[in-house]
Amino acid sequence: MSNDNSSANSAQNPAAKLWGGRFSEATDAFVERFTASVMFDQRMGLEDIQGSLAHAQMLSEVGVLTADEFQQIAGGLNAIAEEIKAGEFPWSVELEDVHMNIESRLTQRIGATGKKLHTGRSRNDQVATDIRLWLRNRIDQIASELTRLQTGLVDLAEQNADTIMPGFTHLQSAQPVTFGHHLLAWNEMLTRDYERLMDCRKRVNRSPLGAAALAGTSYPINRARTAELLGFDAPTENSLDSVSDRDFAIEFCAFSALLMTHLSRASEELVLWTSSQFDFIDLPDRFCTGSSIMPQKKNPDVPELVRGKTGRVNGHLIALLTLMKSQPLAYNKDNQEDKEPLFDAADTVLDCLRAFADMAPALKPKKENMYAAAGKGFSTATDLADYLVRKGVAFRDAHEIVGHSVAFAIEQNCDLAELSLAQLQQFSSAIGEDVFDVLTLEGSVAARDHIGGTAPNQVRAACARARKLLGAR
């Protein structure tokens, strides 16, 4: 590896920094570490190479590099990509960030031609490009895990289209619903998350390459070409904006925070449902852990952790918003702080989706327990009121009559359906023998027979619509 730049790694020689020409003393050792980002931005190594390959190819197409120079650069970059994949790349804090590590390695490997790669670009447009490429990859992985999770939920919903459970408001039993309907509520939240993610992807997928440091470059570059080579929809419009704004990363974190909020709500329900107080579902042992002191315990750690990790993702959203809010145009070093929150948000979301997608098909509803719980708490009281309305009683009066009936049933320590016809008729002569049809749980859910309702046939139809949407992704 002989070349004319072999001393590039020496901190003693200020000129050894790629930007060291105007400096007369070496960087303070602490400052070197403080300002470096290679510890975390090396994750974008392959994207950095992808961007450099497109840039170099474009430079050769417009005549800034010769075909031979491009071949050398491409050969060197591809070899470096192999080193990175093999975990053999010698990352160096002295070289500050992923960009200068790779550029300096290139010159080490191919000699002076490597120094031509940075023609017509800056680390400012380079890093903006790398982040977008990295995030686009992550978005696509997240989208596919989201689809896997939703597919599992819809399958489970279909199998439980007529599994009756209590529906809650204020966490009090309100009206019976089907378990399938409840699962489809989760699915709706996730469908909106998916839409938000796809919308965010459109704004991520624009190429800032060519904005250079801030004002563009005097070389005859072809920005549309690099955009095309990198699979971006188009170049970004304004060079100052291109190198500075990280709104696309903020948007991604906003998507992430909402998705995590939804997963957290579902987690909370799983935690409740696996408790011995609810005992609605069985979560297979492989998703749980035990207690080191209480031998009887089986804890729903996976949903608890998903619920807990929501906090850090919300934090990342606030971190990025705050990072951006006071920055004057154009690039500022502040932006180096965008990566760790963004990376962690993406990692956390992907892990949590994976956990949920694995878990969803394995949830085993304890149908008898759900059914028994649905029968408690006078969950068909509204059905009795609606029945009275059909018999000609005004709704407000019906509400009052049912209130009295419920109070009486509480006194008798029984459910509405367990009262005799004579007992019910004390409260309204409009009540007849057919009242017992509406007081059953099956009658109650079947009656909510419209789009968005909990009737089993509506749940099946909603599953079919959801499947169609998933299939069209």
Residues that bind ligand ARG (CB under 6 A): 37, 41, 97, 123-124, 127, 331, 333, 335-336
Buried b (16+ CB within 10 A) or exposed e, 22-49: eeeebbeeeebeeebbbeebbbbbbbbb
Nearer to ligand ARG, 127 or 470 (CB): 127
CB of 127 to ligand ARG, least distance (A): 4
Nearer to ligand ARG, 213 or 305 (CB): 213
- Long-range pairs for 76-80: beta carbons < 8 A, 24 or more residues apart: 76/106, 76/109, 76/110, 76/114, 77/49, 77/52, 77/53, 77/102, 77/106, 78/49, 78/53, 79/109, 80/49, 80/105, 80/106, 80/109
CB 55 within 8 A of CB 226: yes
In the complex with ligand ARG, the residue whose CB is nearer, 232 or 331, is 331
Q: Judge whether 285 and 298 are in contact, CB under 8 Å.
A: yes
- Kindly state the smallest distance separating residue 9's Cβ from ligand ARG, in Å: 18
User: For residue 394, which amino acid is it?
Assistant: A
399 annotated active-site: no
- Active-site option among 170, 276, 420, 429: 170
Compute the least distance from the CB of residue 331 to ligand ARG, in Å.
Answer: 6
In angstroms, give the least distance from the CB of 306 to ligand ARG: 30
Q: Which is nearer to ligand ARG, 119 or 191 (CB)?
A: 119
| 207 membership: H or E segment, kind and range | strand 206-207
C-beta of residue 346 within 8 angstroms of C-beta of residue 131: no
Annotation says 170 is catalytic: yes
Judged by CB, which is closer to ligand ARG: 101, or 274? 101
Residue of 7, 10, 275, 291 marked catalytic: 291
Least Cβ distance, residue 339 to ligand ARG (angstroms):
6
Q: How far is 328 from 332, CA to CA, in rounded Å?
A: 8
Alpha helices in 19-122 (DSSP H): 29-35, 38-41, 45-61, 67-85, 98-110
Q: Which residues are catalytic?
A: 170, 291
